[in-house]
Amino acid sequence: MTVGNRDLDGATIVITGASSGIGRAAATALADRGAEIAVVGRNPERTNAVAAQVGGRMFVADYDRLDDVRHLADALLAVYDHIDVLANNAGGLVSRRGLSVDGHERTFQHNHLAPFLLTNLLLPRLAVGGGRVISTASAANLFGRLDLDDLDGKKRRYAGGWRAYGTSKLETILFIEELARRMAGTGVDAFAFHPGLVTTGFGADSALLRFGQFVSRGSLGLSPEQGAAPLIHLASVEDVAAPSGTYFDGLTPNGRTLAVAHDEDIADRLWRKSAELVGL
């Protein structure tokens, strides 16, 4: 099966978490290939700087507020009559348990609820020309523990945020698989990927990662450009050569997951509960 690059001239690509790290690296690379980039970030100054660098548009949203996500979707829908790629890259590790403005555990909201809401609100534009959703997941899904009756993790130990982070990335994979099923036949496809351990601002307040950087003398992990490679690939190839819903470990399809990541009933129930929580 031949896999060729898509012509990105005139393509609209929305990248969340694009003000730094792999999001910024992907925005730069995809803009260089001719795409128009909607640069979404939380920090206005950094987001504006990246938008200016890649010749794109700046959109600011704080995933601690679901209303910000709704306003972001409204702004994107007002500007673009079609969206070719939505890259759900924003999120991260929150090392201390806390609640969002909406009353949800912050890691759960940042990494799952906010991108779930944004994707659903943008589906009409993604469906115009057969768009693609790409979500940044993680091998950390392997130590996730999903409890559909405790999505905010009130009953579990927080453990520096790692269990919540792993669970949120398990939810990302379940979401992408369910999205692929629900969009079958519409032309919209969906993929998730693990970028590897990337040296960015990720987990900057995590004692474990700070220790790792100390003992490795700052050499722990991949560069943002290396970590962005799967996102760039999935956004730019015409034929991914893997079914919609596939989770990639780097550039390799069918990365390791917990068995529950492929449970269709669990995925459907997670979707329905998430929709209820965000008011869809």
- pTM, rounded to two decimals: 0.90
Would you state the pLDDT for residue 200?
53
Residue 4 lies in a domain: no
**In whole angstroms, how far apart are CA 165 and each of 75, 111, 132, 137, 159?**
29, 8, 24, 10, 10
Query: Contact 131/191 with Cβ under 8 angstroms?
Result: no
Report yes or no on 279 lying in a domain.
Answer: no
| Residue 243 domain-assigned (yes or no) | yes
250 domain residue, yes or no: yes
Q: So what's the pLDDT on residue 199?
A: 64
* Residue 21 structural domain: 12-272
Report the share of the chain in percent with pLDDT over 90: 84
Residue 130 domain flag: yes
Percent of the chain with pLDDT strictly greater than 70: 90
Point out the least confidently predicted range of 88-97, 198-207, 230-239: 198-207
Number of domain units in the chain: 1
Q: Mean per-residue pLDDT for 99-117?
A: 97
Say what the pLDDT of residue 72 is.
98
264 is a domain residue: yes
Cβ-based neighbours of 168, under 8 Å, separated by 6 or more: 91, 107, 108, 110, 111, 112, 144
Least confident of 92-106, 218-232, 242-256: 218-232
| Active site positions, annotated | 165
Identify the CA nearest to 229 among candidates 259, 193, 189, 201: 193
pLDDT digits (tens, 9 = 90+) for 137-160: 999 999 999 999 999 999 888 889
Q: Which tens digits make up the pLDDT trace of 26-84?
A: 999 999 999 999 999 999 999 999 999 999 999 999 999 999 999 999 999 999 999 99
**pLDDT exceeds cutoff 80 at 25:** yes
pLDDT band at 3 (very low <50, low <70, confident <90, very high): very low
pLDDT at 216: 34
- Per residue in 172-214, pLDDT tens? 999 999 999 999 999 999 999 999 987 655 444 544 444 333 3
Residue 30, domain member (yes or no)? yes
**Residue 2 resides in a domain:** no
Give the chain's end-to-end CA distance (angstroms, integer).
Answer: 39
* Count of Cβ atoms closer than 10 Å to residue 38 Cβ: 26
Q: CATH code at 54?
A: 3.40.50.720
